[in-house]
Each structure stands twice: as C-alpha cells, then as structure tokens.
A and B are shown apart, each in its own frame.
Chain A
C-alpha cells in the first residue's frame, strides 16, 4: 500500500467518483482520502473529530480542494492549512468548477500551489487529473521533514 495519500476535498459524490475514476484510469494508485466538506478535511489534517487519533504526521502528498463546500468553504480550508504549523507546506491544488478570477486570485493569494478548473468534457478531466496526479505524486520533490 502506498503511504502517500491524496486528500480529495469534494462534496459532490459524482465528482468524487469521476475523480477517483480518472485517477484509476491514469494508474495513480495512491490512497485517496475523501473529505466531504471543509470540516472533515481539517479534522483529517489535524486528527480531530472523525479522524481523532490519526497520526497527523502522515501528511497527504497533495490536497485536491474544491472551493464550493458546505460548512467551511475551500478557501477557508486553504487558509487554515497555510496557517497550521504542521500543514503549511502541504501542496494544495484547487480543483473546482469555478473559473472566477476572484477565486483564482484569492486562491493563489492564500497559497494554493495550483488552480485547475474542472472541464465539463470528461476526457479532458481525465487528462487534467492525470497530469495533476503524476506531477504531485511523482515529480514534485517535497521537504523531507516537515517542521512541527
């Protein structure tokens, strides 16, 4: 089992399935943890709530973050990640339907590593996920030890 986890923050089950399908189609075999809203995502990262007791030192290689989320919005999640000592170096890729400039700019300002708009065309989506997954899981060099 791959240790390197992808955290997918996505409330729409269709999108979750399609994303997982796209990853699978591209032979990206990393473990994918799906958080259905912002709260869940943060619980996972901080080992709280649903994920209480989780070893928080195991950080995901990349967080794929939707913006439009119930409870806590994607941008708030991003902000929280960047503010947390243990989480601030985690690569975060915004994967969303919105291409609003406002969101793009704010996303990058808050420290997103990438911003990808989900295409309607599934083939294009698969292509995007492929590139994304390969890049962040294989090619990207991470800091060896994360500061506490």
Chain B
C-alpha cells in the first residue's frame, strides 16, 4: 500500500471516529433523557397515588359528594399516568412492577367504588353506617392500596437506578470509543513511519554505495510504494550514468589523440591507450606520476607549466595552445594542447583533462594546402574568367561562330550567326552542319575542310569559300576552324568561324587600285618636288645673276659716265636699278617661301623672346634714327623649328616696324595670352593697320594692301608666316583696323612650359 494512501486512511479513521463519537454522544443523551423522563413520570404516579390516598381517607372520614368526585377524577388521572408509563417503560422488571401496580390500582378502584355505591342507599340525613360488610371492603382497599404504593415506590427506585445505569453506560462507551480511535491512529502512524524510515535508509545507503564508485550496485526495488519507484528510477539513472561513463572511457581510449586526466596535484589519473602508444610509455610508469616527471621529465616544458598552473586555474579551460618541443623518443614535434578543468560531482577534487594532438605533419600539410588552395583559387578564377570570357567572345564577335561536335553536329552558335544567316536556334542546334538552312552549307569545299583537313591538322585558316547562300545571296566566306579537345569531356569540338568577306574583297580590290593611284601620285609629287627644288636652285642662282649685272653695270654707268648723262638718264638708270633690286628681293622672298614649304623640320625648344629681341635689335641697328618702343615678354618658349620660326617672326616684326614707320611714337609689342587653355602669341604694332574687309587676302602670296610707294614689300611675307605656322600645326590670324594698328596672333601645339635649359 502506498504511503500516501496510508496517510489518507489515518485521516479518514479520525474523521469516522469523530462522527461515531458524536452519534454515540447524541444517542447517550437520548437514553439518559428517556431514563430521566421515566423517573419523572414514575415520580408523578407516586404523587398522584398519594393524593388519591388522601382523598380516599378524607372521604372515609367525612363522606361527601365532593371528595367522592375528586377521588374519581384523581383515579382517572392515575389511570392515565399508568397507561402512559405502560407505553414508555420497557425494562422487564419494571414492566412486572407496573403490571402489578395497575392490577393493584384496578383492585383498589373496584373495592372503593363498591364502598362508595353502598353509601348511596341510606336516606338523607341519616348517618351512614360502615359496619356490616364495610370493614372487609375497607381492609381490602387498604391492602391493595398499600400494595399499589409499594409497587410504585419500587418502580420509582427502579427507574432511578435505570437512569443512573444509563448514564454510567454512556460514559463508559464514550471513553472506550475515544481510546479505540486514538489507538488505531497511533498504530497506523507507527506503521507508516517504520516502513518509510526503513526504506529511505536503504535508498540512501544504496546511493552512497553507488556514489562511492560501485556502479554495479542496485538499490532494492521491492514494494509497491513511492520509495520503490524512486529506487527503480535511481537504478535506471545509474545505469545510464554507467553507460555514459563507459562511453567516455571508450572515447578516451578510441580517440587518436593522446588524452590524459590529471588530479589537482597534476598527477596522472587516467591515460588513453593512444597516449601510451604515441609517447611509448607504460601504464605502470605513468599513472600516479606527476605529469612533469613523465618519460624522463620530457613534459617539463615551461609553456605547459604556465598553461596548467596559471592559465587553467583562472579560466578552467584552454584551447589550441601550440607547443613545439623536442620529445625523447619521437623527436621535435609541434603539439596542440587542449585542456578542461572539471569539478568532480561526488568528490571534492578537480580533475584536468588534457588532450595532446601532434600537429607537426598537419602544420606542414596545412602550409602546403594553403599554397595549393590559393593556387587553385587563382586557377579557378582564371578558369571562370576564361570561360566567361570565351562565352562573351562567342556572343560578342561580329563574325558568325559555330561550335560543332565530332559528328559535325552544331553544339553552340553565336548570336551573330543567327542574325547573319537569318536562322533560328531551334532549327540550328543539334543539326548536322550540312543540313543547315536547306542544305546550303553542303558545300564540297567545306566537306573537304571539315572531314579531311581538320582531322589531320587540327585547324585550318582563312579558307575562302564562294557560295550562293539562300537568304543572303552569293557570298565569299572566309572560314577558320580549330579542333579543340574538351578538357572535361572526352569528345572533341570544332570551332568554326565564318566571316563574310564579300564586301571586304570588293573594298580590297578598290583599295588596291587606290593604293596604286596613290603611289603614282606620290611618285609624281616627289618628281615635281625635285623639279621644284632644282627650279628654286636655278631661280636663286640664275635669275639673280643677270639682275646683278643690270644693277652693277647701271651703277658703273652712273659712276663712270656721270658727266655725260643728264638728270633724266640718271633718273632712268636709278629706276632701273630700283626695279632690279625689287626683283632681287622678290626672288629672295619666293625662295624663302619655297624653302619654308620644302625644308624638313627639326624640332627643338625655341626661345621666342630672345629671337624677337635679336630681330628687333637688328632692325634698330639698320635704322638707328628710328625710335620704336619695344615691349617683349620674356621666357616665351616653343617647341618648333628654329629656322622656320625665325623666318616667321622676321616677317611679322618687319611688318610691324614697317607699318608703324609713319607714327610719331611707334610701338611694338610681343606677348602672350591664354585662351581656352592654349597659349597664344601676339605681335602688336600701332601702325596704319588695315581694313578687316581685306583680311582674307592678307595671307595670300603676292597680295598687298598698300602700294609700294607707301610701304615697300613683295607680298610674300605673310604667306610665308602662315606656311611656317601651318607646318607647325598651328594657326595664325589678325585683328586690325585702319589707323589703329594690327595685332597678329599665332598659336602652335608646341607651346609648353618655359625651358630653363635653353
């Protein structure tokens, strides 16, 4: 029976007993009351009986009607009381006494009634005589009355006794009940406590034994109460614990890496099999030893000491500590140490689990692996890129591209192929190339290339195929093919590039014609250039010679025949000489212009400022009388041909000099401005200027805006300037107004930073 039920039973018994006691108590009170009511009734009977006797005796002494009536009434009362007593009194002796009393009552009643009847016969006024039969009757009355009284007294005493007896009985019963209940509860409690104490003690003992390390002990599970359940559960738990302990141990012995457990004094408690094997030590020289003393103190490593004695007590664990050490027997090794400090549950001490992993090889392999991994990653990236690149190329190239398998069926097609041949992917991929687009590719030449040449040479290049293609017409196609061994698959694929060179061929033909024409033109130009060169040479040499003669002899004439010539003749001669000299200058200028055009350019850093200064100094020397205000910006450098630049500047400065010659205060300025990031040079004078309407004529050869009388000149200078600037790839322009001077601007690509070296 379960303890819980026992405890419940105790409660129920107590409650039941209490109810019983209450019922018994109620019943007892009822009994006592009934007994006491009987006592009162009998007492009343006794009183009524005494009253009746008084009335009888009173009547006998003084007979009158009143006493007689009162006696009868009293008799009736007594009869009633006796009858109610007959209903209530149950005791057998009392009932006999009551029967006796009733019988005596009836006897007295009849006897005295008879007496009372006889007294009615004498006449009125006459004294009643009680002699004759009366004495007998009276004695009968007295006897019976006495007996009645005796019965009633007896009944009275008996009822009193009965009442006392009832009371006593009730008390005894109550006492007995209480005592019985107390005993029952006490007994039950004692039983429970005895059972529980015994079983708990057994359980506790069992747990202690198991805790002491005897994992095979089983706690007694007999019984059907909670404690046996507890014992059963404990046994199950211990079994599980044992299993996990065994599992842990087998893990320790199975793991490849050496494992040892140490107690808190760092002595070896258990050692895995692999530890023995790895460090070549025996159990008997290991267990119980200080770890530092193991195998000729080879574990006495400062790093390990630090880990076990400093770090572990603080952190309870350490992971992945690498220790490089020269171990006796196995040589220099890199060990990876992991440790955990474990608080033993049942014992007070701590144990330390220390796992030792030899990562010497692993480190080496890891280093190698990392290198390999990086290389692989690089290769993969490269491969991906290449693959993507290839895909992109196929789809990007303008020329149609086909990939065929070894059966010459189409595997892949570039977008441009579809566009060019106006075919759709679904009617292309998987087809035999010869069947494409109504067999328009079934060309003997292509068959030969793909089936004969390609298997032999793995590629062919620039085969021209002329064919009438459906949809695109007669075309010349340039075929290039390459047979590729697929890296991953076994099969080969053929890449076939098709280029439509129809137009190109036509263009090439046209180009060839044009090229030939160009060559011809170049040859002609070269010839004419040579001609021009010899022409210039002739001009420079041969045209000037006669001029010199004319001028020379004209002068001779003037000198030698001065007195024979009149003024007109002298003036004519003078004009002849002037014309000759002008023609000489014209020739010179033309030669310059032609030289500027023909001469080869030699680029160098040219100091324009210095050049301008030099030219203007020369001009000043030639005509010292003229006072020209000269402003020169210093440090203007340009990359150009020095000779040509000098020719250009000479022309521009000469012009400035010349056209400002009529000013009162002639000014000349050389400077630079910057416009749109370009350096622009200018040469400004405050001379006569010109009308911008004629600006177009200004730079043409032999174009003049002034008469020779106003300003001498050949009209070639600015043409030369423009040619020089143009040859440098630059521009020259002018801004001017009549009477307000002119500003010539030029810019060439060679304007750069001032060159301090030059």
- Interfacial residues, chain A to chain B (CB-CB below 8 A): 12, 14-15, 17-18, 21, 67-68, 96-101, 118-123, 125
CB of B552 to closest CB in A, whole Å: 4
| In the complex, chain B residues whose CB is within 8 Å of the CB of A118 | 544, 548
Contact check, B599 vs A18: say whether CB atoms are below 8 A apart.
Answer: no
Q: Which of B113-121, B466-474, B553-561, B613-621 contacts A (4 or more CB under 8 A)?
A: B553-561
Q: Pick the residue among B541, B542, B545, B577 that contacts A14 (CB under 8 A).
A: B545
At the interface, yes or no: B540 with Cβ under 8 Å from chain A? yes
- Given the known interface contacts A97-B540, A98-B537, A100-B537, the answer about A12 and B545 at a Cβ–Cβ threshold of 8 Å is yes
Q: Pick the residue among A14, A68, A101, A121 that contacts B584 (CB under 8 A).
A: A121
Contact check, A121 vs B541: say whether CB atoms are below 8 A apart.
Answer: no
- Given the known interface contacts A18-B549, A120-B581, the answer about A97 and B544 at a Cβ–Cβ threshold of 8 Å is yes
Contact check, B591 vs A99: say whether CB atoms are below 8 A apart.
Answer: yes
CB of A121 to closest CB in B, whole Å: 5
Q: List 14 A-B contacts (CB under 8 A).
A: A14-B546, A18-B549, A18-B552, A18-B556, A21-B552, A96-B541, A97-B541, A97-B544, A97-B545, A100-B540, A120-B544, A120-B548, A121-B551, A122-B554
Contact check, B540 vs A14: say whether CB atoms are below 8 A apart.
Answer: no
Contact check, A18 vs B537: say whether CB atoms are below 8 A apart.
Answer: no
At the interface, yes or no: B595 with Cβ under 8 Å from chain A? yes
| In the complex, chain A residues whose CB is within 8 Å of the CB of B549 | 12, 14-15, 18
Contact check, B545 vs A121: say whether CB atoms are below 8 A apart.
Answer: no
- Given the known interface contacts A18-B552, A101-B595, the answer about A121 and B540 at a Cβ–Cβ threshold of 8 Å is no
Residue of A nearest to B551 (CB): A122
Contact check, A97 vs B548: say whether CB atoms are below 8 A apart.
Answer: yes
**Bound Cα distance from A96 to B541, whole angstroms:** 8
| In the complex, chain A residues whose CB is within 8 Å of the CB of B235 | none
Apart from the given pairs A18-B548, A121-B584, A122-B577, 17 other A-B contacts in the complex at a CB distance below 8 Å:
A15-B549, A17-B552, A18-B556, A68-B542, A98-B537, A98-B541, A99-B540, A100-B536, A100-B537, A118-B544, A118-B548, A120-B547, A120-B581, A120-B583, A122-B555, A123-B555, A125-B552
At the interface, yes or no: B580 with Cβ under 8 Å from chain A? yes
Contact check, A120 vs B580: say whether CB atoms are below 8 A apart.
Answer: yes
| In the complex, chain A residues whose CB is within 8 Å of the CB of B585 | 120
| In the complex, chain A residues whose CB is within 8 Å of the CB of B599 | 101
Contact check, B556 vs A121: say whether CB atoms are below 8 A apart.
Answer: no
Q: Pick the residue among B536, B545, B552 that contacts A122 (CB under 8 A).
A: B552
**Bound Cα distance from A15 to B545, whole angstroms:** 8
Helix, strand, loop or mixed for chain B's interface?
helix
Interface size for B (C-beta < 8 A) is: 27
| In the complex, chain B residues whose CB is within 8 Å of the CB of A12 | 545, 549
**Bound Cα distance from A100 to B587, whole angstroms:** 13
CB of A125 to closest CB in B, whole Å: 7
**Bound Cα distance from A37 to B584, whole angstroms:** 25
Q: Pick the residue among A17, A98, A120 that contacts B551 (CB under 8 A).
A: A120
- Given the known interface contacts A15-B549, A96-B541, A97-B548, the answer about A121 and B595 at a Cβ–Cβ threshold of 8 Å is no
| In the complex, chain B residues whose CB is within 8 Å of the CB of A119 | 548, 584
CB of A16 to closest CB in B, whole Å: 11
Residue of B nearest to A68 (CB): B541
**Bound Cα distance from A14 to B550, whole angstroms:** 9
- Given the known interface contacts A18-B552, A122-B551, A125-B552, the answer about A98 and B540 at a Cβ–Cβ threshold of 8 Å is yes
| In the complex, chain B residues whose CB is within 8 Å of the CB of A100 | 536-537, 540
Residue of A nearest to B591 (CB): A99
| In the complex, chain A residues whose CB is within 8 Å of the CB of B542 | 68, 97
**Bound Cα distance from A121 to B546, whole angstroms:** 12
CB of A41 to closest CB in B, whole Å: 18
**Bound Cα distance from A97 to B588, whole angstroms:** 11
| In the complex, chain A residues whose CB is within 8 Å of the CB of B547 | 120
Contact check, B548 vs A14: say whether CB atoms are below 8 A apart.
Answer: yes
**Bound Cα distance from A97 to B547, whole angstroms:** 11
**Bound Cα distance from A67 to B577, whole angstroms:** 25
Among A96, A99, A120, residue most surrounded by chain B Cβ atoms (within 10 Å)? A120
CB of B641 to closest CB in A, whole Å: 12
- Given the known interface contacts A101-B599, A121-B581, A121-B584, the answer about A14 and B552 at a Cβ–Cβ threshold of 8 Å is yes
| In the complex, chain B residues whose CB is within 8 Å of the CB of A21 | 552, 556
**Bound Cα distance from A87 to B552, whole angstroms:** 32
In the complex, the 3 A-B pairs of residues with the closest C-beta atoms, listed nearest first: A120-B584, A14-B549, A18-B552
Among A18, A97, A125, residue most surrounded by chain B Cβ atoms (within 10 Å)? A97
Residue of A nearest to B546 (CB): A14
| In the complex, chain B residues whose CB is within 8 Å of the CB of A99 | 540, 588, 591
CB of B545 to closest CB in A, whole Å: 5
| In the complex, chain A residues whose CB is within 8 Å of the CB of B544 | 97, 118, 120
**Bound Cα distance from A120 to B589, whole angstroms:** 13
| In the complex, chain A residues whose CB is within 8 Å of the CB of B552 | 14, 17-18, 21, 122, 125
**Bound Cα distance from A100 to B598, whole angstroms:** 12
CB of B504 to closest CB in A, whole Å: 46
| In the complex, chain A residues whose CB is within 8 Å of the CB of B588 | 99
**Bound Cα distance from A144 to B385, whole angstroms:** 86
**Bound Cα distance from A97 to B584, whole angstroms:** 11
CB of A128 to closest CB in B, whole Å: 12
**Bound Cα distance from A101 to B599, whole angstroms:** 10
**Bound Cα distance from A39 to B342, whole angstroms:** 125
CB of A66 to closest CB in B, whole Å: 9
**Bound Cα distance from A118 to B351, whole angstroms:** 121
| In the complex, chain B residues whose CB is within 8 Å of the CB of A122 | 548, 551-552, 554-556, 577
| In the complex, chain B residues whose CB is within 8 Å of the CB of A125 | 548, 552
**Bound Cα distance from A122 to B556, whole angstroms:** 9
CB of A99 to closest CB in B, whole Å: 6
Residue of A nearest to B556 (CB): A21
**Bound Cα distance from A130 to B706, whole angstroms:** 37
| In the complex, chain B residues whose CB is within 8 Å of the CB of A123 | 555
Among A21, A67, A98, A101, residue most surrounded by chain B Cβ atoms (within 10 Å)? A98
**Bound Cα distance from A119 to B580, whole angstroms:** 11
**Bound Cα distance from A21 to B554, whole angstroms:** 13
- Given the known interface contacts A120-B581, A122-B555, the answer about A15 and B548 at a Cβ–Cβ threshold of 8 Å is yes
CB of A15 to closest CB in B, whole Å: 7
Residue of B nearest to A67 (CB): B541
CB of A122 to closest CB in B, whole Å: 4
